[in-house]
């Protein structure tokens, strides 16, 4: 799919962000690129995201088979954080999109640490280059100190402990491709990233894990 969209000049207002998140998930995902997510004393500029649709529409979505205790937040109003635990050790964070009742969300895959780098490095002792700090969905939550306790947090209150702000600088060109690591729906090119950003993760296809023994 060809890259679409030019530079987004001028920082939008928080009201614009709320309207964006209340709309369809794909434009919302694109609009989240370049936004600043602040949590735990660290600020990250989002460089890579993935869109997930609601019930029945997207086999890769956690909401595909309907509401469960885990994905409950996805069914609520937009602008909240959906956090889930996976692979026995990793937390991943999503921004809920669309009107309440429609369970769409945008997975935050990677970002650039723009503030609080000292704290970020303390949380990720193994990281060497700065670009590695929040390069990957579980790394991003680690750097921000996000875990299950942040599930459901409202992101559009600038005074909140975890909040999202519109871009302060022009965002670059947006590119798109297949989503990373999903078992189904890999034909849908719902991964979006900022062209040329070093913090974007390399694409990896889903590889089924064979059980031991």
Q: Does 114 bind DNA (CB under 7 A)?
A: no
- Binding-site string for DNA from residue 37 to residue 66, where x marks contact by CB under 7 A and - marks none: -------------x-x-------xxxx-x-
Q: Binding of DNA at residue 68 (CB under 7 A)?
A: yes
Residue 210 neighbours by CB under 8 Å, 6+ apart: none
Sign of the alpha-carbon dihedral angle for 111, 125, 205, 57: negative
- What single string gives the DSSP state of each residue in 86-136? ETTTEEEEEEEESSTT--EEEEEEEEEEEE-HHHHHHH-TT--SGGGTTBS
- Structure tokens belonging to residue 20: 């964006």
**Cβ nearer to DNA, comparing 8 with 193:** 193
Nearer to DNA, 1 or 87 (CB): 87
- The CA distance from 198 to 122, in Å, is 21
180-199 residues near DNA, rule: CB under 7 A: 180-183
Q: Judged by CB under 7 A, which of 34, 40, 111, 136 binds DNA?
A: 136
Task: Give the list of residues 6+ apart from residue 182 with CB closer than 8 angstroms, or none.
Answer: 60, 206
What are the angstrom distances between the C-alpha of 30 and each of 25, 50, 142, 196? Answer: 9, 9, 23, 16
Pick 180 or 194: Cβ nearer DNA: 180
Pick from 4, 86, 122, 203 the residue near DNA by CB under 7 A. Answer: 86
Among 39, 42, 92, 146, binds DNA (CB under 7 A): 92
Nearest Cα residue to 175 out of 33, 35, 16: 33
Residue from 2, 9, 10, 126 in contact with DNA (CB under 7 A): 126
Q: Does residue number 128 form part of the binding site for DNA (CB under 7 A)?
A: no
Q: Does 208 bind DNA (CB under 7 A)?
A: yes
Contacts with DNA, residue ranges (CB under 7 A): 50, 52, 60-63, 65, 68-71, 82, 84-90, 92, 94, 105, 107, 124, 126-127, 136-140, 179-183, 201, 206, 208-209, 211-212
């Amino acid at each position: 799919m060809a890259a679409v969209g030019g530079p987004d000049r001028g920082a939008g207002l928080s009201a614009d962000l709320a309207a964006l998140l209340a709309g369809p998930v794909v434009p919302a995902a694109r609009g989240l690129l370049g936004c600043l997510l602040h949590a735990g004393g660290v600020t990250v500029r989002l460089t890579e995201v993935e869109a997930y649709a609601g019930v029945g529409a997207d086999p890769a979505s956690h909401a595909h088979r309907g509401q469960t205790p885990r994905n409950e937040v996805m069914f609520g109003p937009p602008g909240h954080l959906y956090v889930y635990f996976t692979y026995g050790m990793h937390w991943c964070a999503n921004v809920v999109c669309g009107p309440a009742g429609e369970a769409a969300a945008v997975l935050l895959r990677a970002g650039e640490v723009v503030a609080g780098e000292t704290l970020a490095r303390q949380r990720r002792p193994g990281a060497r280059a700065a670009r590695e700090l929040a390069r990957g969905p579980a790394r991003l939550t680690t750097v921000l100190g996000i875990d299950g306790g942040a599930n459901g947090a409202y992101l559009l209150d600038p005074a909140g402990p975890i909040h999202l702000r519109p871009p302060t600088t022009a965002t670059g060109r947006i590119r798109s491709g297949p989503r990373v690591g999903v078992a189904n729906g890999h034909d849908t090119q719902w991964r979006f990233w900022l062209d040329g950003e070093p913090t974007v993760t390399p694409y990896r296809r889903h590889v089924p894990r064979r059980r031991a023994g």
